[in-house]
Amino acid sequence: MSLLDATAPKSAPEAELSIALSSLSVDAKAPKTAPAQLPTTGGPSTTSFNEPSNETSTDPTPVRATHIDIEITPEFPPDSSADGSEDDVLPSPFHLELHDGNFYDADGRVVLLRGVNLGGNTKMPYTSSKDGTVSFVNRPFPLDQADEHFSRLQRWGFNCLRFLITWEAIEHAGPGVYDQDYLAYLRQVLLIARKYNMYIYIDPHQDAWSRWTGGDGAPLWTLLDLGLNPENFAITKAALCQDTYGGKPEDFPKMIWPTNFFKFACATMATLFWAGNKYVIDSIFQS
């Protein structure tokens, strides 16, 4: 089920894009309706332990694009007073078709996507406490400010948003413990975006594993449960993070964060995640 899953009248006009990166391909000859799918989850943010920081073709054969499945759900009709409430949800997903180097809507019209990133601050929690509790509710902005931001983007000519979410935002409390407040917020803010004819590209974002290893994405428990102690990363040079680098933020070398991919903390986590079956045989954690 998609975060924007709903059922809408067939006469609904324009439609809105939602992308699930977990599927494999886009079929230009896909039916006009298809089952909804669940979206899976800048430069990186600052970190610390306590507060972690055209080619066109004449060939009519449809183009097949790997790693993405494009699904769109109808937008509110012009006379709707949609405010993101459940009563405003409209049914029935549609598909954008991709062929000859263009996206086409359900009526066969070429769709030009003019997009912007939204946004870098979604990689950091909105609130945090000394005991490690965090919340990403209100990232990228509070619901009462959503209309202002989306209407401004619409006036500037944008119609497509790369909407960042992180694994940490959804599952920061522990394996299988999902932040229902954040998921509810996320649904509401995306519903509001519909009013402004925004196509939404859900970006499950990650850089250099996590905020504690010089990037963003994975929750803290992924490190702790494997026996790593982020409090020692700075002194052992296992990760290079702005919060533990010392000096003023502007003293932190620009664009040095990608070097964390080759440092102990991030490299270890990536190895275990992607090649654990080869290097730690018969060792399974959290299924």
pLDDT at position 95 is: 67
pLDDT at position 169 is: 98
Q: Model confidence at 52, in pLDDT bands (50, 70, 90)?
A: very low
Cβ atoms of 8 and 92 closer than 8 Å: yes
Residues in a beta bridge with 128: 134
Q: What is the pLDDT of residues 244-255, one digit of tens each?
A: 888 888 999 999
Average pLDDT over residues 254-276: 95
User: What is d(CA 58, CA 36) in angstroms, rounded to the nearest whole number?
Assistant: 32
Q: What is the pLDDT of residues 173-209, one digit of tens each?
A: 999 999 999 999 999 999 999 899 898 999 999 999 9
What's the whole-number average pLDDT of the chain? 76
**Rg for the chain, CA atoms, rounded:** 21
pLDDT at position 145 is: 98
Average pLDDT over residues 262-270: 97
When comparing pLDDT for 270 and 7, which is higher?
270
Reply yes or no on whether the pLDDT at 31 is more than 90: no
pLDDT at position 22 is: 32
When comparing pLDDT for 20 and 140, which is higher?
140
For the entire predicted model, the pTM comes to: 0.67
Q: How do the domains of the chain map onto residue ranges?
A: 15-279
Average pLDDT over residues 251-267: 96
- Residues contacting 225, CB < 8 A, separation 6+: 175, 285, 286
pLDDT at position 113 is: 92
Report the range out of 56-70, 117-131, 163-177, 268-282 with the highest average pLDDT: 163-177
pLDDT at position 106 is: 81
Distances (CA, A) of 152 to 15, 64, 193, 198: 20, 34, 12, 12
Contacts of 170-173 with CB under 8 Å at 24 or more apart are 170/41, 171/219, 172/125, 172/134, 172/136, 172/219, 172/220, 172/221
pLDDT at position 49 is: 38
Reply yes or no on whether the pLDDT at 258 is more than 80: yes
pLDDT at position 43 is: 40
Which of these ranges, 77-86, 194-203, 215-224, has the smallest mean pLDDT? 77-86
